[in-house]
Amino acid sequence: MATQTSHTVLSLRGCSPFTKSSSFGLIDFRRCSSSIELSSLFNFTYCYIYPRNAYCTHSKRRSRGPVMAAKKESKGTKQGDGKYKHTVDLPKTSFGMRANSSIREPEIQKLWDENQVFKKVSEKNNGGSFILHDGPPYANGDLHMGHALNKIIKDIINRYKLLQNCKVHYIPGWDCHGLPIELKGNVAVIGSRCPKGVDTYKTESKSSQVCQSNREGTNGIFQGLVSRFGVWADWDHPYLTLDPEYEAAQIEVFGQMVFKGYIYRGRKPVHWSPSSRTALAEAELEYPEGHVSKSMYAIFTILTTPTKGGPIDEFLPKLSLAIWTTTPWTIPANAAVAVNPKLQYAIVEVQSPSPAEIPSSPEDKKRRIGSVLKGQDTPFLIVALDLIPTLEAKWNVKLLVKKTVFGSDLENCRYAHPITGQECPVVIGGDYITTESGTGLVHTAPGHGQDDYLTGLKYNLPIISPVDDEGKFTEEAGIFNGLDVLGDGNAAVIDHLDERSLIVLVEPYKHKYPYDWRTKKPTIFRATAQWFASVEGFREAAMDAINQVTWTPPQAENRISTMTSSRSDWCISRQRTWGVPIPVLYHVETKEPLLNEETVAHIKSIISQKGSDAWWYMSVEDLLPERYRDKASDYVKGTDTMDVWFDSGSSWAAVLETRDGLHWPADLYVEGTDQHRGWFQSSLLTSVATKGKAPYSGVITHGFVLDERGLKMSKSLGNVVDPRTIIEGGKNQEEAPSYGADVLRLWVSSVDYSGDVLIGPQVLRQMSDIYRKLRGTLRFLLGNLHDWKAENAIPYDELPEIDQHALFQLETIVKNIQESYESYQFFKIFQTIQRFAIVDLSNFYFDVAKDRLYVGGASSFTRRSCQTVLAFHLLSIVRVIAPILPHLAEDVWQNLPFEYTLDNTDIAKFVFESKWPQVNPTWLAFPEKEIQFWGKILELRTEVNKALETARTGKLIGSSLEAKVYLHTSDDSLAVRLRNRCQPKIDADSLHRIFLTSQVEIVSRVEDAPNENIAYSGEYLIQGEKKIWIGVSRAEGSKCERCWNFTAEVGSFVDHPTLCKRCHDVIADQPLPALAAVS
Ligand SMILES: [Zn+2]
């Protein structure tokens, strides 16, 4: 419906009178502008990716005057006589449009390496030191997206601190004691340690050779990949948990804890893995879906009650306790039955239905009805009152309540042990006894369960655990001796009880059950003699220490507090073939451990020289201090090793306290959220126990990397994203192009890592688009500064307002970005910089600046003032993005057309020598009133563009320079300010320059506009309230051949009849035309 006749459009935002195609354009634009509003409103919390269409709204809609002219001419197209093309200052730079990252990034990394940039910058910086202590990942060479996320977050922080003038020391670490290495089975290559008891033990030198090959092998693979991410670290001096110095420091930590009384030996049920024959910590367990146990309802016959004539005596001797367990194999270790004193229990009579009444279901095949229900003479049972309906349904019987009592009434009743027949007590248990499942009476085996163990302590119950390392019953279990508790042993116990008419029902039971995280096999709870760190002894100090640490995100503090306040003593001994030994000798006869300052110091000094292998190959005599030598035959070496979490948890002592330039506590630890119960916690405990304080001032935790749909990555799903493929590209470069490390790093910066993060092809394509846009922004800046010299800078006070406003915006984002780095919220930086480059620069400032830069005259005020602003933008942007996009930033820096001098007159040859941009308070002090006015102008410009677009669609104009814009507003003060803008002191501030039109006129009344010329007009709302009328006509005068602006001046100069006054003046000032430069 575009017409030649004049019509008025009431600007209703949802209603468009235009043709379908142009209304699409408007809707797109509105979408984009509303997202700008939204995002500024919410400070960009929600808007992660800037809308794609925002990139192209301007360039697509508007044809550009001088740029088009010069470009066409440079290609030889006839465009006038091309007489002035050499006077147009087009951008030129050697900085490529394309990243060419597969070649350029390694070149830049080589440049850094050869010049030792990281080391030198760190040495020169004098703003204090910053220590981010690297957690030791398992050195098994399998690098995945989780590592990429972790290492890049760390590198972004370190690089930011370098720009902040800090000395940054970052020592990468590798955990070499973890089982993944053992399981790889490649002992000769990967580890230095000798399996215990292997006779043909390697010699010491052999062992260190192996250690060396591990260093070069595993560490090398990792280092190669991680450094390809652009991660700066002291790669030549990593720390390995199997370094002798490391192990010695760990022994020292252990010794300190012993002397403070925090280490003890005790018999206690621990998670035990029969498959790897060792105790496991909570952190080494996993709970896979689908575990099914055999659950059993059994009865224990009551023998006596505590008081004669008590409430239940009348049911004797036909009275039994009904219990339920999911681990029938623990019955031989039964020591008591526990009840909840506050619960009501019922004595019930079992009434079995006749066989005809029993409905059969498919479930029945898996169930085994016990002899209790099959027999004629069913005893009275005690069960929790609330559970009767559940049990009736499960057992398929009627339970007739004969009497009810409280749990407390049952205490000290005695029953016959179902296997040995010995008398055992009914005891009062804790709150863990509920009516959620089972019978409300808990079979208690203190040797096989934590709650049972604690109840056992109260009643001094025996800790029976007749199960060996392999998970087989021992002689103590009598007839079950030698049977596998998780296999035939379990079945044998059930059969045995059933023969004695003690089973009600056996059925499969699906529940969470702990598995060994490495062997993926089920574990058991088993009491063994172990070494413990008494967390109870320093729990309060640990809680205080947690309080002193800055946790990011803040909710992490809750997590670690809860885990620390509720955790039981830390079992630190393991029965492994690898690892650092618990440095204890035992007396052969008394079995008493020999552990004192003298022995620990002696063993530590041996390990610091020979490594912990020495423990296994040296004789007892040599391991004993002088004083004990002659009694060597009285002692044997202990064979326990330390929990691997004790190894890595000692890294603060082994690394922070021993290496030059480092300090304890570290400034920061950064790992995945799983480390709350792993490394963060073990480091905290060892540090608090020995030094009373956490080993870190701050902790950052991050989530896991999932695929684009939020699913866990797995080979079977085929959704694994490999960081190497992102950088180098896949086999099919169409599907998996080589994006380079910076695109990967940009992705890391874009995600809110405090939760789980997503990655996939779609996300990467978006990142690549944004990277290109940023690169384009920087290229524009470089290209237009090719002839720039610092001495050409125009003082701030003399700059046009548009430039002062631009510097205000620049300074504001630099300040915001700094705040976001300080709070480690990189996604805010990503959003800020993206919006700034697209909305503030590309769509506005650069768009307007091209006229001044290209045709304003090489040495003119208008161009130089603009270049002053561009130079500041270039120097600030390149530095604030450098921590995230170091290759891009360095590439820009190496292509800088001028030198950058530091305060101390040194020239910054590399971007990381340049330091963080200083905040300029003058720029930030741009008056509030002016900021608001510029806000209106920018919105007005958006509306004018819509009107121009309509005129262009209607073929009234081609380039926007062919238009004249009429404005009317009933807001008088706004009208005055706009009118002043039509003829400002400085040409660059003119409204027509800002709108990219040839003329703008402010009319007092709409009727004053020359109606016959105005083909397009409409009324628009500015800032949601001010109505502005906009009219568009063809520009007055003729087109200047050089700058394409229309003016009546064209034709008035005899020497240059096709030029406007501005161009005429430029030509006069510039007798020697600048060389044409088109890049
Ligand atoms: Zn001109």
Strand partners, 642: 573
Tokens of 822: 């300080």
Dist. CA 844 → ligand 1 center (Å): 21
Dist. CA 856 → ligand 1 center (Å): 9
Dist. CA 1053 → ligand 1 center (Å): 12
Dist. CA 698 → ligand 1 center (Å): 60
How many whole angstroms separate alpha carbon 91 and alpha carbon 1078? 7
The more confidently predicted of residues 1025 and 532 is 532
Least confident among 50-59, 349-358, 824-833, 979-988: 50-59
Dist. CA 1047 → ligand 1 center (Å): 9
Q: Is the pLDDT of residue 370 over 90?
A: no
Dist. CA 639 → ligand 1 center (Å): 90
User: Tokens 């002798």 — which residue?
Assistant: 244
Spatial strand order of the sheet with 666-672 comes to 167-169, 129-133, 666-672, 696-702, 550-552
Dist. CA 1040 → ligand 1 center (Å): 5
Dist. CA 950 → ligand 1 center (Å): 26
Strand partners, 382: 321, 347
Q: Is the pLDDT of residue 46 over 70?
A: no
Tens of pLDDT, residue by residue over 288-314, are: 988 998 999 999 999 888 887 778 888
Dist. CA 978 → ligand 1 center (Å): 24
How many whole angstroms separate alpha carbon 849 and alpha carbon 803? 10
Q: How many CA atoms lie within 13 A of 258 on its CB side?
A: 21
**pLDDT of res. 279:** 83
Strand partners, 701: 671
Dist. CA 1035 → ligand 1 center (Å): 14
DSSP structural state of residue 926:
-
Dist. CA 997 → ligand 1 center (Å): 13
Going by DSSP bridges, is the β-strand pair 1016-1022/1026-1034 parallel, antiparallel, or unpaired?
A: antiparallel
**Residue 299 CB neighbour total at 10 angstroms:** 27
3-state secondary structure 378-425: CCEEEEEHHHHHHHHHHHCCEEEEEEEEEHHHHCCCEEECCCCCCEEE
The more confidently predicted of residues 265 and 374 is 265
Dist. CA 1077 → ligand 1 center (Å): 19
Dist. CA 977 → ligand 1 center (Å): 26
Dist. CA 981 → ligand 1 center (Å): 20
Dist. CA 1058 → ligand 1 center (Å): 8
Strand partners, 336: 444
3-state secondary structure 1035-1056: CCCEECCCCCCEECCCCCCCCC
Dist. CA 63 → ligand 1 center (Å): 17
Dist. CA 86 → ligand 1 center (Å): 14
Dist. CA 847 → ligand 1 center (Å): 17
Dist. CA 1039 → ligand 1 center (Å): 8
Dist. CA 985 → ligand 1 center (Å): 19
What's the pLDDT band for 539 if we cut at 50, 70, 90? Answer: very high
Tens of pLDDT, residue by residue over 211-253, are: 444 555 555 666 777 888 999 999 889 898 888 999 999 999 9
Query: What percent of the chain has a predicted confidence (pLDDT) above 90?
Result: 61
Tokens of 1034: 């063809």
Dist. CA 1004 → ligand 1 center (Å): 29
DSSP labels for 760-822? Answer: -HHHHHHHHHHHHHHHHHHHHHHHTTTT--GGGPPPGGGS-HHHHHHHHHHHHHHHHHHHHHH
Dist. CA 1036 → ligand 1 center (Å): 14
What's the pLDDT band for 460 if we cut at 50, 70, 90? Answer: confident
Dist. CA 986 → ligand 1 center (Å): 17
Q: Is the pLDDT of residue 975 over 80?
A: yes
Dist. CA 589 → ligand 1 center (Å): 106
What's the pLDDT band for 1037 if we cut at 50, 70, 90? Answer: very high
Tokens of 839: 């909305």
Helix residue ranges, H only, 611-718: 613-617, 620-623, 644-649, 651, 679-691
Q: Is the pLDDT of residue 780 over 50?
A: yes
Dist. CA 961 → ligand 1 center (Å): 11
Note whether 502 and 328 are within 8 A (CB). no
Dist. CA 1069 → ligand 1 center (Å): 14
Dist. CA 785 → ligand 1 center (Å): 22
Note whether 547 and 698 are within 8 A (CB). no
Dist. CA 81 → ligand 1 center (Å): 15
Of 387, 209, 415, give the one whose Cα is nearest residue 304.
Answer: 415
Dist. CA 960 → ligand 1 center (Å): 15
Dist. CA 1056 → ligand 1 center (Å): 11
Dist. CA 998 → ligand 1 center (Å): 10
How many whole angstroms separate alpha carbon 319 and alpha carbon 547? 54
Dist. CA 612 → ligand 1 center (Å): 82
Residue type, 672: G
Of 534, 566, 564, give the one whose Cα is nearest residue 551.
Answer: 564
Dist. CA 1042 → ligand 1 center (Å): 5
Dist. CA 509 → ligand 1 center (Å): 87
3-state secondary structure 184-201: HCCHHHHCCCCCCCCCCC
Which residues are near ligand 1, the ion (C-beta closer than 5 Å)? 1040, 1042-1043, 1060, 1063
Can you say how many angstroms the Cα of residue 778 is from the centroid of all Cα atoms in its chain?
28
Dist. CA 4 → ligand 1 center (Å): 29
Dist. CA 959 → ligand 1 center (Å): 15
How many whole angstroms separate alpha carbon 301 and alpha carbon 444? 15
Q: Which residues contact 473 (CB under 8 A, 6 or more apart)?
A: 329, 332, 466, 467, 480, 481, 482, 483, 485, 489
Least confident among 341-355, 582-596, 978-992, 1050-1064: 341-355
CA quadruple 191, 196, 199, 201: dihedral, nearest 10: 30
Strand partners, 509: 293
Dist. CA 575 → ligand 1 center (Å): 86
Q: Which residues contact 275 (CB under 8 A, 6 or more apart)?
A: 516, 519, 521
Dist. CA 1060 → ligand 1 center (Å): 4
Dist. CA 318 → ligand 1 center (Å): 114
SS3 category, 524: strand
**pLDDT of res. 1072:** 46
Dist. CA 69 → ligand 1 center (Å): 12
**pLDDT of res. 204:** 35
Dist. CA 61 → ligand 1 center (Å): 22
Mean pLDDT of 654-666: 94
Dist. CA 838 → ligand 1 center (Å): 28
Dist. CA 1055 → ligand 1 center (Å): 14
- 166-177 core/surface letters (b: 16 or more CB in 10 A; e: else): bbbbbbbbbbbb
**pLDDT of res. 306:** 84
Dist. CA 996 → ligand 1 center (Å): 13
Dist. CA 1061 → ligand 1 center (Å): 7
Residue type, 128: G
What's the pLDDT band for 72 if we cut at 50, 70, 90? Answer: very low
Mean pLDDT of 633-643: 92
Dist. CA 59 → ligand 1 center (Å): 22
Residue type, 1041: E
How many whole angstroms separate alpha carbon 886 and alpha carbon 745? 9
Dist. CA 1045 → ligand 1 center (Å): 6
Highest mean pLDDT out of 416-425, 451-460, 839-848: 839-848
How many whole angstroms separate alpha carbon 728 and alpha carbon 102? 6
Dist. CA 652 → ligand 1 center (Å): 69
Going by DSSP bridges, is the β-strand pair 593-594/585-587 parallel, antiparallel, or unpaired?
A: antiparallel
Output phi, psi for 177, to 5 deg: -100, -10
How many whole angstroms separate alpha carbon 744 and alpha carbon 727? 7
Backbone dihedral region for residue 717 (phi beyond 0: left; psi -120 to 50: alpha; all else: beta): alpha
Tokens of 491: 């079945």
Tokens of 869: 């602003």
CA distances from 834 to 33, 644, 745 (A): 15, 44, 15
Q: How many CA atoms lie within 13 A of 806 on its CB side?
A: 32
Note whether 326 and 509 are within 8 A (CB). yes
Note whether 1000 and 982 are within 8 A (CB). yes
**pLDDT of res. 982:** 95
Q: Which residues contact 533 (CB under 8 A, 6 or more apart)?
A: 257, 262, 263, 569, 570, 572, 685, 689
**pLDDT of res. 735:** 84
Burial of 460 per CB tally in 10 Å (0-12, 13-18, 19+):
exposed
Tens of pLDDT, residue by residue over 421-454, are: 899 999 988 778 888 888 989 999 998 988 898 8
Tens of pLDDT, residue by residue over 106-162, are: 999 999 999 999 999 999 999 999 999 998 765 555 678 999 999 999 999 999 999
DSSP structural state of residue 127:
S
Dist. CA 953 → ligand 1 center (Å): 26
**pTM of the predicted model, to two decimals?**
0.78
Tokens of 927: 């008056």
**Residue 469 CB neighbour total at 10 angstroms:** 15
Dist. CA 1008 → ligand 1 center (Å): 29
CA distances from 805 to 266, 796, 812, 863, 1070 (A): 72, 11, 11, 16, 30
Least confident among 352-356, 604-608, 738-742, 1003-1007: 352-356
Output phi, psi for 862, to 5 deg: -60, -40
Dist. CA 799 → ligand 1 center (Å): 22
Dist. CA 1063 → ligand 1 center (Å): 4
